[in-house]
Every structure is written in C-alpha cells, then in structure tokens.
Amino acid sequence: MSDATMDASLNGPEPTQLKTADGLPLKVALAKSQARAKRRAFLLVAPLFLFVLITFVVPIGQMLLQSVYNDGFSKNAPALGQWFDAHPLGSPIDESAYAALASDLKQMKENRTQGEAGTRINYDVAGTRSLFTSTARKIERLEPPWKEAILGVDEGWSDPNLWRAMRSASSPYTVDFYLAAMDHTRDKDNNIVPVDPQRAIYGKLFTRTAILSLVITVLCMILAFPIAHLLASLPLAKSNLLMIFVLLPFWTSLLVRTTSWMVLLQQQGVINDLLVWSGLIGNDNRLEMMYNQTGTIVAMTHILLPFMVLPLYSVMRTIPPSYVRAARSLGATSWTAFRRIYLPQTLPGIGAGALLVFILSVGYYITPALVGGADGQLISNMIAFHMQKSLNWSLAAALASMLLGGVIILYWLYDRLVGIDNMKLG
C-alpha cells in the first residue's frame, strides 16, 4: 500500500464541500451576498453623506482655512515679499525697501488692487488703506531716491509698526487674526502684547456670551421642569393636547416671536403700560427692558424653552410613578422621594436639554441683534458685523473657530462627566 493511500485511509474520507444551486461554494456565495448588501447600504446613505459633506464639513473647513489665510497683501506685493525674505526682522528700512514698495505700488495701480492690499494692512494698523490708495495715485510722478520721494508724499510710511505689519502680511498664512480675536496684537518688534484696554472687546463678548447662555439655560431648566412633569403626569390624551401649546412656537416665525417681544418690552409697550395703569410704577419711571441684557434673556428664554421641555418630557414619561409611591410608603417624605428617587432618573433629560439650550444660546444671532442693543449682543453679532460691515472675513472666521472650539470642549466635558450615551432627546 502506498503512503498516500495509507494517509487517506487514516484521515478518513474528505468532507464534501457545500455548494449553492448554481454551483458556487457556499463560502464564496455568502461573501458575494455580504458585499452586495454593503454596496446597497452605502448607496442608500451616500446622498446623506454628500449632503453633510457639502453643507457642513466643507464650509467648516473653509472657515478654518480663512482664519489663518489671507493673501490680500502678499499676492499684490511680491517685491516687498522678496525684500522681507532677504532681510531678517530688525533690518533697517533702507532705499532698497522703498524701491520694492514703489515697484509694488506701481503694479497695484495698474491692477487696481491698492485698496485690497491696504485693507489687509489696515486690519493691523488703522488708517493704512488711505495711505496705500493716496500714494498709489501719485507713484507715477515720483522718481528715485524712492525713500525720500515716498516719505515726501506721506510721512506715515516711516512708521516701524507699518513695516512690521507688512512683513507679517507678506506671508498669506498668519495667526494674527487669532491674536486679534483674543485682544492681542504685535508691537513694532513683533512681540505679542495686549491691545489697549479700551479696544479689548472680544474677551468681554465671549465672557458675556457664556454668562448669558448659562443664565438662559438655568432659567429654561427652572421653567421647563414643572411643565414637563405636568405633561408626563397627565393622561396621554390630555398631555398630547397640552403638548400642542409647547410645540406652537415652532409653527411661528422666529422673527415674529422676537418682534412680539419688542412690542411687549419697550418703554411704551404693553408691559410698561399695564404697570403704569395698575399704579405699580409711575409714568416717568417706566422700566427699561429693551436694548439691554434683560431683553435678550427674556426673549431667548421664551424662544429656547421648548428645547428644554421636550428632552425632559421624553425622560419623565418613562419613569414609573410607582417608584415615588413606593418610597413614600417606606417612610420617605415627598421632598426626599423627589430628591433621591425621581430627580436622579431625570438627569439624562436635564443634561440633554441643558446642552442643547446652551449650544443654541452661544450661537444665537437674530434675537440679540433686535432686542439686545449694545449691552445685550453676543459674540455672534460681532461675527456678523465683520462678515457684513467691516468685511474682515478672516477675523470673523477666527472668532467663529474659537466659538466652535468652545462648543466642542463643552461637548467633550459633557461626554466625560455624564456620557453622551446617557443623553436622551426624545
């Protein structure tokens, strides 16, 4: 007997390989079926993935890039850029520097870009846009020596801080907009220093935004808890009827709700008229509830209240009332039963509602703009100002990026302390 025959007799007969009806091995057929299922699932979610990518991921990426990239000066001043590369920081501003400046000003005049270059420098040194435009208009009539000729047009070109700003802007990539967003700047020696206290506004706005958002969140929590508890305690038919009043604001335009509060809160508005009519205040002592923080808090609390009610209601509805009754039957007081039995079970809803309301508050724009005035506006209003009025998009992007970073940190802290898995929104 051969060795192969002996091994086959010892190992027994070979197992029969299972096959499908069309002759494919079962393992291969299963792999193909799983691959088709994965392709089908990917095609189903592909439209949503593309939508999120185009409308969310790409704009955020562009915003982050805009916050550190601005080529308004660098692309229009190549000669100065070469001079700055060849001369380190601290080098004297000699004739060759002014010759490079004259060359760039001539090119700017031909391309009509002196305003764009001046605007970029104006972000760092106020008043320089007019310096660029006025000098560019006269540059064709100037002759060497360039330093004497350009300084003869305007002595402002001798400012060392101006040359520091042009050196910094000679590269399109910069962190100076983040410094400005943190109320810092660079001095003539390129050292980072705080701005003049009278110009330090962004830190105050970030602080005010955080404080007002926290106050609004706490007020929403205090007002929403009894409402949600009532809805969860009533029979389903009655709670569904009352839920309509909670959802009713969603069917009304945000602008309409905000302007309604303007009618109610202004000095000649409904609330002040009622207080004067009832004799609680005099006609000369009407309350100022508009264009300040009071108006912002009142209007935003009303608008964001449903976002706190709904998560609380969704959690409270699932808590069996027998738990509290059992605690009271064992001798616990109503307060003890609420504090130790009922309240801990509502924490997922409280956390979800608080996080939702706070995040919505820090980014709110329309309501603070209409009823907040100078004292009640938030950082979102300053971002809108730089986007629409000053056109400093890089600074607006830096402020928005810092706001986004703060929200992400808040979300991370919530995940570490409470856990996102415990969040319940409905």
Mean pLDDT, rounded, for 66-73: 94
Classify residue 87 by its DSSP letter: S
Tell me which of 1.10.3430.10, 3.40.50.10860, 1.10.3720.10, 3.10.129.10 is the CATH number of domain 202-422: 1.10.3720.10
Contact yes or no for 351/269 (Cβ under 8 A): no
Q: Which residues make beta-bridge pairs with 193?
A: 185
| Closest-CA residue to 393 (of 404, 406, 383) | 383
Asked if omega into 145 is within 30° of 0 (cis), the reply is: yes
Mean pLDDT, rounded, for 187-193: 87
Quickly list H helices, 143-253: 146-153, 160-169, 176-181, 202-233, 236-247
Higher pLDDT, 347 or 27: 347
Token pair of 134 as six digits: 């006025």
Confidence grade of residue 227 (pLDDT, cut at 50, 70, 90): very high
Computed over every residue of the chain, the mean pLDDT equals: 88
pLDDT at 402 over 90: yes
* The predicted structure's pLDDT at residue 421: 66
Which residues are CB-contacts of 262 (< 8 A; sequence separation ≥ 6)? 269, 290, 295, 370, 371
Cβ-count burial of 149 within 10 angstroms (0-12 exposed, 13-18 middle, 19+ buried)?
middle
- Cα separation of 289 and 209, whole Å? 18
Which residues are CB-contacts of 402 (< 8 A; sequence separation ≥ 6)? 178, 181, 182, 206
Mean pLDDT, rounded, for 53-73: 92
The reported pTM is: 0.84
Mean pLDDT, rounded, for 55-67: 92
| Closest-CA residue to 387 (of 373, 375, 400) | 400
Mean pLDDT, rounded, for 264-282: 88
In Å, the largest CA–CA distance within the chain is: 121
pLDDT at 47 over 60: yes
Higher pLDDT, 111 or 7: 111
pLDDT at 34 over 80: yes
Mean pLDDT, rounded, for 216-234: 94
| Closest-CA residue to 299 (of 362, 360, 216) | 216
Place of tokens 């570490």: 416
Give residue 144's identity as a one-letter amino acid code.
P
Confidence grade of residue 239 (pLDDT, cut at 50, 70, 90): confident
Compute the Cα dihedral for 126, 130, 131, 133 and give only its sign. positive
* The predicted structure's pLDDT at residue 422: 61
pLDDT at 16 over 90: no
Place of tokens 């949600």: 228
Mean pLDDT, rounded, for 171-184: 94
Token pair of 44 as six digits: 């189903």
| Domain layout of the chain by residue ranges | 78-172, 202-422
Token pair of 314 as six digits: 């969704």
Give residue 361's identity as a one-letter amino acid code.
S
Confidence grade of residue 424 (pLDDT, cut at 50, 70, 90): low
Classify residue 69 by its DSSP letter: B
* The predicted structure's pLDDT at residue 247: 87
Contact yes or no for 213/358 (Cβ under 8 A): yes
pLDDT at 282 over 70: yes
* The predicted structure's pLDDT at residue 393: 93
Compute and round to an integer the Cα radius of gyration of the chain: 33
- Which of 264-278, 324-338, 412-426 has the weakest average pLDDT? 412-426
Confidence grade of residue 84 (pLDDT, cut at 50, 70, 90): very high
pLDDT at 163 over 90: yes
Q: Which residues make beta-bridge pairs with 120?
A: none
Instruction: Tell me how far apart the terminal alpha carbons of the chain are, to the nearest angstrom.
Output: 76
| Closest-CA residue to 21 (of 29, 13, 9, 10) | 29
Contact yes or no for 114/133 (Cβ under 8 A): yes
